């Protein structure tokens, strides 16, 4: 009896891609790097996220919430054709996470909002 229920749950999550664990990664144009970093520091202080600078990358560890064990947001600064870009990636801290409840998309949307404020 439990096997059909388990198969229905698997089918549901296979067809509802919004709830699956997704490693999100997007590329955005960067206008002012210094202003972006200041706003990012303010955001991390407000949300109590851990902010770490590694060479040309920024790593942010988010807090545990009711829906996740936290995420790792990675920000890479890229230069292509005399233009600067920011590559923002977000993934769960726990590698066995199956469902992320769109936490990664919302993390990237938050960083995108900072970039749009500074452009």
Write out pLDDT tens, residues 35-69.
Answer: 999 999 999 999 999 999 998 899 999 999 888 89
pLDDT classification of 81: cutoffs 50, 70, 90? confident
In a domain, 12, yes or no: no
In a domain, 75, yes or no: yes
In a domain, 19, yes or no: no
Mean pLDDT of the chain: 84
In a domain, 9, yes or no: no
pLDDT of 52: 96
Check if the beta carbon of residue 80 is closer than 8 Å to that of residue 18.
Answer: no
In a domain, 10, yes or no: no
In a domain, 14, yes or no: no
CATH number at residue 41: 3.30.310.80
| CA neighbours closer than 13 Å in the CB half-sphere of residue 47 | 19
pLDDT of 7: 63
Range of the domain at 61: 24-117
In a domain, 65, yes or no: yes
In a domain, 17, yes or no: no
Residue 102 DSSP symbol: T
pLDDT at 6 over 70: no
**Domains held by the chain: number:** 1
């Amino acid at each position: 009896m439990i096997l059909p229920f388990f198969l229905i749950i698997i089918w549901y999550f296979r067809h509802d891609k919004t709830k699956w664990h997704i490693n999100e990664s997007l590329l955005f144009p960067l206008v002012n790097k210094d202003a972006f970093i200041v706003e990012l520091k303010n955001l991390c202080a407000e949300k109590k996220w851990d902010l770490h600078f590694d060479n040309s990358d920024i790593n942010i560890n988010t807090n545990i919430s009711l829906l996740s064990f936290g995420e790792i947001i990675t920000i890479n600064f890229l230069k292509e054709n005399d233009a600067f870009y920011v590559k923002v990636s977000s993934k769960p801290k726990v590698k066995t996470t199956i469902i992320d409840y769109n936490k990664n998309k919302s993390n990237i949307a938050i960083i995108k909002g900072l970039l749009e404020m500074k452009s």
